[in-house]
Amino acid sequence: MRENRHASFSAFGAPEEVLCVCTGEMLPPAPGEICVRMLAAPINPADINYVQGVYGEVPQLPTHRVGLEGCGVVHASAAAGYEPGDMVILLDTVGAWSRFLTAPATAFLRLEEHIDPMQAAMLKVNPLTALRVLEDYAPLQAGDWLVLNAANSGVGQCLIQLARTRGLHTICVVRHAAARRAALQALGADIVVDEDEPDMVRQVLSTPGVKRPLLASNCVGGESALRLMDMLAPGGTLVTFGSMSRKSIKVPNSWLIFKNISLRGLWCTRWLQQMPPATVAAAYHFLARLVAEGKLQQSIAAVHGLDNLQEACRQAQQEGRSGKILLRLGE
């Protein structure tokens, strides 16, 4: 029996304080299951919140594994349609931060596309969130504009790239815009503006060729979300999928009455639970093809092994990173 190592916790709290790496045996797959040798997994805000006990789904203690997203290859299979060597991503179970993960085959999706495992490890959350923002809330056509805050985040980078493939224009709101403008423009951003710029809305809307956007992507909340709504066209929609500022959105009544703005929420976990498997698979294969074609890439700031888990978690919570913090799990 091969040795397995995995991250787990027995109390809610700061990940760098409560997480530990445990050693045990690799579990062989039961009928309908596969055993996956995990290759890589990102540390997402959702993972941090999961360990803190403030995620949308609160795990049951005394002990629980960690890792909502990751990529690996099938090590052993007792399920139809999966063979050793197949690359898979994790969809609907927890435990990606493991050397080996054994679970029902329905918890995984086999990738048909040959892509970098590091990019595959990040396919589940950020690209799907960006795709759902673009496709599910406003009837956008080529030439339309959308505005997003935290544009340098993983979802923001994906949204900029996906918008470019559809001929859409992006207004990207970030902190420290001067330091990030070149990188975001290289992804396809049209306008990059500083979150704290005085009179930012007027400045953007007075730019030649810019039209009020029909769609706003919000993962910050508070005053940042208000500025996005101020920029929206009448009948526009604000989609919220995160709350980095941890501040509520207080909407002026006049915007609801006279601009007829819609406020919507997005939680991709729910989308994955509600959609038919074929719909889910089609979305991920579409995104994987874009990755394979070089049209969709997520930046990586650092890669750590499980032995450096605490430092990896600390880095994942730092502001101003240039990309994702990943765990390399095959070591």
The reply to whether 55 belongs to the active site is yes
Q: Tokens at residue 230, please? A: 């101020």
* Residues 216, 229 contacting (CB under 8 angstroms): yes
d(CA 26, CA 328): 18
Contacts by 275-278, CB closer than 8 A, 24 or more apart: 277/106
Sheet holding 145-149, edge to edge: 191-194, 169-174, 145-149, 215-218, 237-240, 262-265
Which tokens sit at 189? 């951003």
DSSP state of 307: G
In the set 50, 55, 82, 284, the catalytic residue is 55
Beta-carbon contacts of 163 under 8 Å, excluding residues fewer than 6 positions away, are: 134, 146, 169, 170, 188
Contact 130, 159 (CB under 8 A): yes
Contact 170, 231 (CB under 8 A): no
Which tokens sit at 109? 């999706």
Comparing C-alpha atoms, which of 10, 21, 14 is closest to residue 308?
21
Q: Which residues does the annotation mark as catalytic?
A: 55
